[in-house]
Chain A
Amino acid sequence: MKYLILLSLLSLESYAATSSIKFTAKTNGPGIEVEGEVQNPIVSMDFNKMEGTNFSADVMNLSTGMEKRDKHLHEKVFSATNNGMAKIDFTILKMSCPTSANSEVECDCIGNLKIKDLSNEIKFKALVNKTNKVVSGKALVSLNQFKLTAPTFMGISVLDNVEVTFNVSAK
């Protein structure tokens, strides 16, 4: 039994170094988009069995490139001032890919996204490149759905849907 657990753990691959997870939040102000990234995400992925792929990050690792804006994001949106106070966790529950000889296929995905203590299923499409072992795509996350207060600053407010783009490489 111990051997099986060890084997299954070894079969999982962590690709923090080759993962890129970014987000873009549109606002009600013209010409203003808030862009950011998840720094040092922890991604566990078995490329041969994508269901169960997991990504997690502490909200303190969300960065928009501006110190004060990050502080607002952590404190006002996620009520977090230190590591460990709020986490984002995502797991792929189902992934349907067409049978194709092409190296790149578009798959329909259903995943479970947990932000702080609230979980919701989200649907999105992912592009899987079998040759390069890369999974990429975009997903929309509704702030309302996760009971997150849309950040507002001096009359400019972030719109409800935040676009998350990801690119995870198994190489």
Chain B
Amino acid sequence: MKSSFALIVFAWISISFNSQDAYAYPTYIRLGYNSCIGCHYNPAGGGMLTPYGKGISSTQSLKSSELSDEEEEKLSHAKYLQAFQARILDYKTPTKNRIFPMEAEYLARMDFSKEWKVNLSVDVAPRPDNVDPKDAPKDYQRVYARIAEVNYYQNNNHSYFLGISPLPLGLGLVDHTDFVRANNRLQITDIPINFRSFGFFEKYTLNYFLYLPHYLELKGNQEKGLGGQFWYLWNKNISFGPQVLVGKTDTIKRELVGVLLKAGLNEYSYLGEANYTHRKINPDHNQFGQWTYYNQFTYHPNDWFNIAYAFQGIKKDRDFESSETRHSLMFQGKLFRAFTLMYESRLRHVNSSNEVSHLLQGFIQWW
């Protein structure tokens, strides 16, 4: 039972719809935000907003509002902050139409002292589709801790984390890149037990991490490894850098190297990522390479609305030869402080077949 539970939960978390924040703004580089830590407690972005992030978020909606003096006072001095976020998704293809709550998260941040803090995210995974009822998890079994970590905040330049959390790999913020993230890791979970270190400096940011498998992970997918990411802030509008990862399960060793680019100017922004992963399968010494890439061009006519085009793909070579590309056109608007609506039209091309799908997402976050 434990294995089928783990399989179902991690199949959803790792492959389908793992998300950190539906309305994250990695494109804020165009407005002088060259890293995520100004607005998020997680330096890799997503999840719980800092008081400053909440203040910015409140003003970035069609019906914008500013935090009241009471809210500002409460947030600025709070030792315990919490938020709730959830998404409802309407996924439509020519043969399927499914409306379902995609994910619900309770987020918390506890400050024990100026240096020591705890981050927590308790999630409810979506009810799995196409699963034999006898294998389906009970409702309480879909609840899991996506983040449970201790944060040592040394100063404005150095921060360290230990616990369960997603690896700070790739652009990593918006759910659209999950296709790339999921294919980079294949069956491996994105929320291992890990130690992460972040450094923020005038011209660059640096993070490295060491990780061990999550205790719920299936044995064959239990990976340990290490990696890092470096962002060079070339100028106020462009930052780029490499990322690396080396991981090992009982049967597969993977080595990933990639490049990342963020650029933005006025109403326009670009996000790009390209990775090459080499995998070696132990029993038969089979090996193969895999390319993944992600490109997103976004136009922000105003603070609360944007239109984006994303082009992403994967290509495997040798015995696993296959390819898949996705073109997405996205319209995203933050209507109220707590509510964001997004529509995405996708054209998916797998080997020689095409599939068109439409997604409508409603995202709620309040605190």
Contact = CB atoms under 8 A, between A and B. Distances in A.
B200 A31 contact: yes
Given A24-B32, A68-B64, A68-B66, A30 B37 contact: yes
A33 B156 CA distance: 14
Given A66-B303, A156-B52, A32 B236 contact: no
A69 B75 CA distance: 19
B38 interface: yes
A34 B51 CA distance: 17
Given A28-B156, A29-B156, A66-B303, A154 B34 contact: no
A29 B157 CA distance: 9
A84 interface: no
Interface string A40-77: 00000000000000000000000011111100000000
A29 B52 contact: yes
A35 interface: yes
A24 B233 CA distance: 15
B76 A30 contact: no
B67 A31 contact: no
B194 to A, nearest CB: 21
A66 B31 contact: yes
Contacts of A68: 59-60, 64, 66, 303
Contacts of A28: 156
Contact of A31 (B34, B51, B59, B60): B34
Contacts of B38: 29-32, 156
Interface in B1-49: 30-38
A98 interface: no
A30 B156 contact: yes
B298 interface: no
A35 B32 contact: yes
Contacts of A31: 33-38, 200, 205
Contact of A24 (B55, B200, B236): B236
Interface in B270-318: 302-303
A68 B38 CA distance: 17
Interface of A: 24, 28-35, 64-69, 153-156
22 contacts: A29-B156, A30-B156, A30-B157, A30-B200, A31-B34, A31-B37, A33-B236, A34-B32, A35-B32, A65-B266, A66-B59, A67-B303, A68-B60, A68-B303, A153-B52, A153-B55, A154-B51, A154-B52, A154-B72, A154-B76, A155-B51, A155-B52
